[in-house]
A and B are shown apart, each in its own frame.
Chain A
Amino acid sequence: MKESRRGAEFTVVVLFLIAIVCAIGFIFVYAFFSPERMPNELLGISLGLCLIFIACALAVVGKRLVPNDELEDDYPEEHPQKQAEVVEQLHSAGSLITRKRLLLGAGSAAGCALGAAALTPVLSLGPFWDTAPLDRTPWKRGVRLVDESGDPLAADNILKETFYTAFPEGADPEEIGSPIVVLHLNATDLRMPRDRSGWTPRGIVAYSKICTHAGCAVALFRKPTFPTVERREALVCPCHYSTFDPFTGGSVLYGPAGRPLPQLPLEIDSDGHLRAAGNFSARVGPSWWNVREQPT
């Protein structure tokens, strides 16, 4: 009996050790790979195995090391001596665990390793007081709009009833401030904020393609086939259906987005190509604290 208990204790310690190895594996994977090449399956497997081995260790403790014997006896109310006997019985039963400190140590080490693994990704949040990188966009006055293959967009080729995705010439298209959506609307229907006069040559408007709610690509464009009975043009984010009004400076018509889509002022150069006439009207991307302050 005692031998099997020793064996059970050994098993528990081994299981805790494997759990620790798994948790360290998680931290190692997270630290070793760059965010672009992060093997998510390895992260999931290591953290999952860590939890499973801790659960197995606790299950072995519960099954083999915690006394499960039931003793039924009338409770001796008036006899201190008998009470002492019961206490004695309890103590002797509790001593099934022979190496309490070892088990406690292994268990708390496994717990700490798991906690460390779970907290590691927090380090990626970075120094939280520095939001300057979020303000910088590749757009400034004179930057040409190019399509996915790098060809400049000519104002004459921007048709109505459809939408175009454009990027700043010579900049990284993967950057959060890069992609914009370009629309051609009826110039007479535009109701832009007063300080944005001249931002929309010939009724061509441009907005950041990153939703201000959760940062998805605003990839849906809704246009009426028969404007008499259908709603007019709108930009929709496919993630949570935030709907933006391109006629009024990207204001929110519907959905969880808390602020308008940032608008990019446009101008047409002498070659007929579209160029940015400045930076966005507001900070690009999902919202965070102080986001309503103007971009630098």
Chain B
Amino acid sequence: MNNKPVSILKFHGARGSRPVHSITTQAYGGNTTCLEIDAGHDFFLVIDSGTGLSHLEKSIQRSPNRKKIHFLITHTHWDHIASLPFLPQFSDPEFEISIHAPDVGDMPFSQLFNLLVKHSRLPILWTAPRCKLNFFRIRPGETFLIESKIKVSTFQVNHQHITLAYKIGLADSSVAIVTDTALLNHQNILGQGMASKASKIGMDNFVREYEENLINFLRGVDSVVFDTHFNEQNLRIDWGHSTPQLALHYCAKAGVKKLFMFHHAPEDDDHAVALKQDLTRHHQVALQHQIEVINAREEDEWLIQSA
């Protein structure tokens, strides 16, 4: 009998940039970035709060005794935070909500959150939170524990401002979430502080170091959720996103077992997203390292268990 502990990875929103609603996007869904990892603890662990956050309500209804939510925010673009102010649990005094996020420029996320919710352009009337609300400033490269139970490591990826990839250590497995990142090269250096570091150590050294560090970050991870917004034909690297081939490259080098392709472009209908998966599986066959390639799909739930 297999008694290995299991965790569940839930995709509440797999779309990038903006939500879409069309009969041709129903299969993979139209909601923007939101994932949940259910490791069986007494809290919800949610990564980002795009419009997929609406689906969290189902998890909350299924586990009515859990009254804590931990958010890991990758960065502050709309498709990652726009639904946060709409979370009903802010007004529930039984809940404790903790938000772990990098700074925005020099501004702590807590300050940005206050601007956001007290904003004169939020389409709902905001009332002061009745839940217990905590903010944690996360610096790139930092490792921390959630409720002394889940170890989270971070890595700054090549995207605007400080955008973090999260590696989440579970009881018997691990997941890395790399929602938004682009190829880093001489012409395309997007992350806050990266250009100045590159000028100190030389661009070639910086690019090499970044690649090595990202691969080391992903090394040994069971499942990686990676940005595959573009393909080789429509790639615009200055927009801060990757292709399936780049995702495969990093995952193969790091020995990853399962790749979830994520951040589907809003312009891509179900057919285009499915085709992307087929082509990536075809490319994967040519690699020496075998990786299971799967399209992230809204409302899908996956058991995360080490092989």
Q: Do A and B come from one complex?
A: no
| Chain B residues in the interface with A (C-beta under 8 A) | none
B-binding residues in A (CB < 8 A): none
